[in-house]
Amino acid sequence: MAIYLQILSNGLMLGALYACLAVGFSLVWGVLNVINMLHGSFIILGGYLTFFAWHLYGIHPVVMLPIVAALMFALGFTLQKLVINRVVSAPVLTTLTLTFGLDMILYNAMTYWFTATPRRITLDLGAVHLGSVVLPVDRLIGTGLALAMTLLLYAVMRGSTIGRAIVAVRMDRSAAELMGIRTDRIYAITFGIGALMAGVAGVVFATVFPITTNVTGIWLGKAFVVCVVGGLGSVPGALVGGLVLGLVESFAGHWFGPQQAITAGFVLMLVLLLTRPTGLVGVRGYE
Amino acid sequence: MRSGFPLYAAMVAGLLILATTPLYADNYVVRTAAIVAMYGALATSWNFIGGFTGYPSFSTAAFFGLGAYVGAICQRNGIPMGLAWAIATVTVAGFAALLGGIILRLRGHYFAIGSIAVVELCRLVVSSWSSLTGGGDGLNLPLMAWPPEQLMRFFLFVMLGILLASLIATILVDRSRLGFGLRCIHQNEDAAAMVGINTTAYKIAAYTLSAMFCATAGAAYASWTGYIDPTDSFQIVMTVKVVVMALLGGAGTILGPALGAAAFVLLEELFWANFLDWNRAILGVVIVLLIFFLPGGLLSLGVLRRLRAATGSAKAEGGK
């Protein structure tokens, strides 16, 4: 029994990270209808910024969080405004190939400057024991930050004018335009938010997992799975998708071995794609 | 017009250039020619589903990898090489038909994701089914005791044969009811279904065609290199590369994908040789420029446009 409690809490902690990792990807996909192949590299870039700030200047990751968030937002906003916006209404193949090309550039630059050596911030904060369940403190903080940022994004989407405008564009672009919303600007802001959330995920990841360019594809894959499982383009969708994936992975890892954990995630995604393409909490007609 | 003469002339010329490399160039050039032929076959295959039908399929690497593994496993069990390739082709075509029946119900982004997931799933299954596939250790194939030059020449001709077969299939499909139906699906699937095209069967046919030649190429590649492993056989990068090649040449045209493959491989070799640290970024820049300035591919350029218009139905492309 105790072991299951441990797996459950591991799964939930992992799930919160997954939600934070995927929510930006999901928004960009849902609002801009663009599959952002850069997302994995954005996460790793956020991780590198955090690592080097900590390693070279001793800046604590929590302090770096707002800085990385601001930088990544600026990067995403500019990229969308200057580059991606030119083909934003083109078919899937075009936008996907474009972001793949951009990803190759960013990936190459990061590998060149930072080399592929895995790096990780070790904070050594000990662990909390709840009965027989062990919870490492750095992971708990990471989970808390990831959840807090995801919920903050939810509040922004629900409460602010910008957030409502994004939701409006997502529901019906032409109608939103008629209501006086500047869709180009909303697109750039959404892409900025996507990059921002990836950066935030990167900050958290740098304290939990090794950061190296080799894993960009893995995180991108997770973002795909979370989106399809939870439902596209909404914060609650990413949250549900992330938690479900985290739980499935940790239980599958326990029962069938770590290698099968990833397989289980992909199988779950394919099954949901075919049976419920709108995701667990998605709304029909939104795809 | 409608005579396909410029098209055939260009096709024969291209194949001849590749086939005659052993006469005047060293082994490196011959190897590059074989790679061009291989990617040409992969891109031409992708064109059935991605170009004609307009379904953004990213499963090329799955078919290539499965073909490599089926071929390798057959050869390890004493089946002669040619037969092993044939078995790989048929098995993977059957697999694609079954899989197509499932994932072709998805459209747009969802189909794209589903087809990428297939590559990942194949890789994961192959790497964990160690008893059959050797898992992460990979598989060794029986070595061919030929001198390197002869070996290279042999595989150049094999790859050229696969490329030729895929091109012939493309021409046949392009001129048939099937090709017409696929282009209709590309433009408007619901309307196509409404005027009586069996869209499901047509899409499955296109998907199966897109898998077959990839499997043959994969099996031949396995025999060529003599060793395969899961990470190398099922690469997402390879899948996207093939799509970029087809776009570079001109998706939905007959010669475009093969031409794009040749241009891409040559660029890649050039960048690898001269800019070791930055080759990936330079390719990325090429892709970005391509999307911005040449969205119709090389065949939309003035001189080459005649090749595109060589057969009547190619004009249907560009509709969307």
The confidence score (pLDDT) of residue B307 equals: 63
Instruction: Tell me the pLDDT band of B169, cut-offs 50, 70 and 90.
Output: very high
| pLDDT of B2 strictly over 60 | no
| Residue A129, strand partner residues | A134
**Domain count along chain B:** 1
Instruction: Give yes or no for residue B313 having a pLDDT over 60.
Output: no
Q: Among A102, A111, A273, whose Cβ lies nearest the Cβ of B288? A: A102
Tokens standing for residue B41:
């076959």
Residues in chain A with CB shorter than 8 Å from the CB of B109 are 29, 33, 35, 92, 287
What is the reported pLDDT for A116? 75
* DSSP annotation string for B16-79: HHHHTHHHHS-HHHHHHHHHHHHHHHHHHHHIIIIIIS------HHHHHHHHHHHHHHHHHTT-
- Domain of residue B247 covers 5-316
The predicted pLDDT at position B304 comes to: 65
Judged by CB atoms closer than 8 Å, whether chains meet at B103 and A96 is answered as no
Res. A117: pLDDT tops 50: yes
User: What is the rounded average pLDDT of the residues B270-285?
Assistant: 83
Residue-level pLDDT at B252: 85
Straight-line distance from the first to the last Cα atom of chain A, in angstroms, rounded to the nearest whole number: 41
The beta strands (E) that lie in A66-200 are given as 127-130, 133-136
Q: How far apart are CA B32 and CA B293, in angstroms?
A: 27
Over 70: is that where the pLDDT of B117 sits? yes
Cα separation, A167 vs A180, whole angstroms: 14
- Report the pLDDT averaged over residues A236-243: 90
Lowest mean pLDDT among A44-58, A198-212, A251-265: A251-265
B interface with A, Cβ–Cβ < 8 A, is 50, 54, 56, 102-103, 105-106, 108-110, 112-114, 116-118, 120-121, 124-125, 127-128, 236, 240, 243-244, 247, 251, 277-281, 283-288, 290-292, 295, 320
- Owner of token pair 């500019």: A78
Q: Both tokens of residue B39?
A: 């990617």
- Interval B240-274: pLDDT, tens: 889 988 988 888 888 889 999 999 999 888 888 88
At residue A89, the pLDDT reads 81
Q: What pLDDT sits at residue B306?
A: 61
Q: What is the pLDDT of residue B90?
A: 96
For the whole prediction, is pTM greater than 0.95?
A: no
Residue with tokens 């939810």: A154
Kindly tell me if the per-residue pLDDT of A285 is higher than 50: no
Residue-wise pLDDT for B231-247, tens only, equals: 888 888 888 889 988 98
